[in-house]
Structure 1
Amino acid sequence: MRPRSNWASATGSPHWPRRGTGARHRRDYGITDAGRAELRRWLTEPGLDLAFRSAALLRVFFLWTLTREEGVDYLEKFAQTNRERLAALESIRDNAEWVGDPVQVCGWLILEYGLRRLQDLGGMGGLGRRAAHRTSVSTALRRWPASA
């Protein structure tokens, strides 16, 4: 990822290396004065863009184009993936050494958001089967083809 304009700089090198150093090829970046000013402007400007975008949930919207079985299968896999992600975030939460510095507090807020979101999405397992038995969607499901 290349930073926009002069908002960030790679530490230790005037050039953008193709790969970082170390076993994980990690690159460290530092924020420039111009970058800090832009960050402050972005964080304090009115008219926040709070839209939540999810390619996975957009796929859920279009499940009607698949067979019933394919839709149920997608929802089951979606729920399983979210349960696995939830377990990973719970492990981070439970094993982190929380010292309360400002950066860590903001990281904790993001972690907590992710945990709550995944707790909700992990419950989507069986949703396709439950939807098939709901009267309010019975008409739509009768139109949903049983096979391709």
Structure 2
Amino acid sequence: MEGTMPAELTISALRRDDLHALGGLFAAHTGRPADLSTLAGWIDTWPSAGARGPEGLVGYAVCRGFAPDVAELAALLVAPASRDRGVGARLVAHVEDTCRARGLAAIVTVASSGYRVQGEKRSSRPFYEGLGYRVVLETAATSVLAHDLGSSP
């Protein structure tokens, strides 16, 4: 069961000055560097969200284009010390609200066991399904999920 998000955390759109911290979170999770140039382009153009606390950036969600009226939630990561407290759900809610405000109709995302990470690999599929996303395509290693922004979870 997910706990309560700490009051000292705030959720807002990512800024370019978040890129260094975002890269650090990504590298700690995956063991490889983030493509900060690509991520900068996405946060300049598409909805994004950062969770910030006294220690700085503890999570992020970044969208990119998928179709003219559909965004792809391409990256969602919460630092291990901040997980299971509602941070991920708040990040997703922020990008969903921003997508709706921009007139986008849906969001797609991918949950895959094929991505390499440092430490324990947890499937994100149950998390997304709990937020109202549904599987639209599935392979042995990957689930593609979609959420109609006109519906609620």
TM-score grouping bracket, smaller chain normalisation: under 0.3
Larger proportion of helix: 1
TM-score under structure 1 normalisation? 0.26
Greater C-alpha Rg: 1
TM-score, L = length of structure 2: 0.26
